[in-house]
Amino acid sequence: MGLRARMDDDLFNPIRGEGVMPHKPETDKPKPELPKNGPILARVQDTRPRHLDGGRTVLRPSLPYDDKSHMMSCFLDLYIGAKYAPAPSLPGCVCHATVIYGTVSLTAEGHNYQLLERDALRFKADQPYHFENLSSGTGRLLLEYQYLQDPA
The model's pLDDT over 54-74, given as tens digits with 9 standing for 90+, comes to 899 999 999 888 888 888 999
β partners of residue 144: 73, 96
**Residues 51, 145: Cα–Cα separation, whole Å:** 20
DSSP 3-state of 138: coil
| Percent over 90 (pLDDT), the chain | 54
Average pLDDT over residues 119-142: 97
Instruction: Determine phi and psi for 123, rounding to 5 degrees.
Output: -150, 165
Report the half-sphere exposure of 68 (CA within 13 A, side-chain side): 5
The model's pLDDT over 13-54, given as tens digits with 9 standing for 90+, comes to 333 333 334 443 333 444 555 556 778 777 877 778 999 988
